[in-house]
A and B are shown apart, each in its own frame.
Chain A
């Protein structure tokens, strides 16, 4: 049989099936994407990945977990340096946000009654398993130190009351020992996924998150501790805010194609607002917060809100990057072409 050489059926595919899509106009059309929209092919523009099933509870936990860790550090420091007002505020803050974190984590499960299944295994390849065990190590210390601050005065002299207050310092120090893990593992939790915007940010995200944790811990101390004792809270707030701002800018700039998920749409708006609040909070912490209680509270609240919005913004960027197949296909296709493994040459 005389076989006719057929032209490759995907020859010139780019100009037949590939289209340049414009983005949904929900970013007001005012921002231009940094990277030009590449031509790409897809299956009915359907997502390649499943969007995360997590809802608001997970970004909320990212915030409360960070707040708890930041507060635990302040609480231990205040304890050792003799600042009872700051110590009390920070320890109670660490406890409160720990309780909130636990609620959020359990409630987000599809089967909340099975949350203890997390403790069946210790699995280094799963950041969620690692995180669970970090929380197991962190929780009792933070809870005990917080509880000691909440003992009502009439029970302080009783035996359990005295015991609790005696245990508060070692408990607080143990919480502080695990707090850095609590503050940073959540970045790996997000990055260790196929979600393009989270995975590509794996170098920068831990700094965004520990910065955000410090800023919120500092902010909380400024709101609830007497101004005279809140010096460390203010300094932690300023340092944390600076780290958060710088790292968050790096996320915008360094990610290549996936960076668009952060610089456009809702994620961009949330993070922009977070930047303003964090900046304002840091400036306030370095100035008015040293003189007036009202100034301290306002600056602290700004830092807290900035930290929370940052978490929601990062979360939103990831979700967006799974809904749009471009984030998956375009960088992978580029990689194939660059390494000469493109199937067009197959």
Chain B
């Protein structure tokens, strides 16, 4: 068992680092968003299998995304991004439609303003019901003439907990409720969690959240129960296009690299991998993504870092401040004779 890079940097075997001696291979997801069709079968399968409660039935005005964000009650989240340009060599055929292209710019303005009015600034998406005032009465695209028509592409991506090599949520959990499984995944034990909420702020991706009324923290378990029975996770099982692939992480990383090269060769030069590198700020994801635009366009942080990286600097600074505190108290008594 290695103690090197336990908290930051490349780490070959997180399960062994956590003390699992004889353990199975590290497993994970490869989510290839270039073949996602936005059917949300993954979201449904996850809810069904894991008995995840509903997160509100509101229309959010984010294209066809009415989940909004991962949260306590959304462990898979399909993002929909409408962009006025082509995907590779495809013709979206929008130019022939009577309504013209998407009015996503305008919609985004409205969504953005409505989000700011909510209690947690939109952070409750995926956990609680959020009413952003949709639907409105205007037809999407109404008011655009033929001259406004553009090329069009839809980016769809099924987001999930990254099962980080260095997981911010796990590092800060004070009860040991969050733990590293023998598969190298990160899971909350619901009978231990006391709902302190520290993990919610520890995750650099905004994945885990506390469930209202229940008081405990919830997130994707990578179907720990199914894994132990030799089954693949429900979302990967349900995905009709194999956009979500499950398997040993080493194999998935290779497959991701191959797919990337293939797409680049096909002229989709904007394809890129996200979370595949063990050298990134969280030591690489257990859930690797292939994206067609910058991560932030999908609501993902472009260069996340596990907060634990700076733990040494923080405690050093705290130690100096604590010493100053002692000196201040001493000098208050020694500084001068009794007045």
Contact = CB atoms under 8 A, between A and B. Distances in A.
B267 A4 contact: yes
Interface string A266-296: 0000000000000000000000001000000
A9 B335 contact: no
Interface in B178-222: 192-198, 200-210, 214-217
Contact of B315 (A129, A188, A322, A329): A188
B111 interface: yes
Nearest to B302: A332
Contacts of B214: 110
B303 A52 contact: no
Given A194-B168, A243-B324, A344-B294, A117 B269 contact: no
A49 B172 contact: no
A43 B174 contact: no
A324 B307 contact: no
A6 interface: yes
A123 B294 contact: no
B108 A45 contact: yes
Interface string A322-345: 111100110011011000010110
Interface stretch (A27-35, A141-149, A203-211): A203-211
A77 B196 CA distance: 35
B204 A194 contact: yes
Nearest to A227: B339
A40 B112 CA distance: 14
A137 to B, nearest CB: 14
A287 to B, nearest CB: 13
Contacts of B308: 125, 192
A207 B324 contact: yes
A6 B267 CA distance: 6
A275 to B, nearest CB: 19
Given A191-B314, A194-B304, A236-B332, A24 B116 contact: yes
A46 B68 contact: yes
Interface in A192-206: 192-195, 199, 202-206
A184 B336 CA distance: 26
B204 A49 contact: yes
Interface residues of A, number: 102
Interface in A1-27: 3-6, 8-10, 13, 16-17, 21, 24
Contacts of B99: none
Contacts of B303: 332-333, 335-336, 341
Given A5-B267, A193-B201, A323-B120, A209 B321 contact: yes
B62 A46 contact: yes
A17 B297 contact: yes
Contacts of A129: 174
A210 B125 CA distance: 36
10 contacts: A9-B85, A46-B69, A48-B301, A50-B206, A112-B194, A179-B325, A180-B326, A187-B317, A193-B202, A232-B333
Interface of B: 7, 61-62, 68-69, 71, 79, 81, 83-89, 105, 108, 111-112, 115-116, 120-123, 125, 153, 168, 171-177, 192-198, 200-210, 214-217, 266-270, 272, 292-304, 307-308, 310-311, 313-315, 317-326, 328-333, 335-336, 338-339
The 6 A-B pairs with the shortest beta carbon distances in the complex, nearest first, are A110-B195, A110-B215, A323-B121, A43-B299, A206-B321, A45-B112
Given A49-B206, A194-B307, 5 more contacts: A47-B120, A126-B173, A195-B201, A231-B338, A332-B304
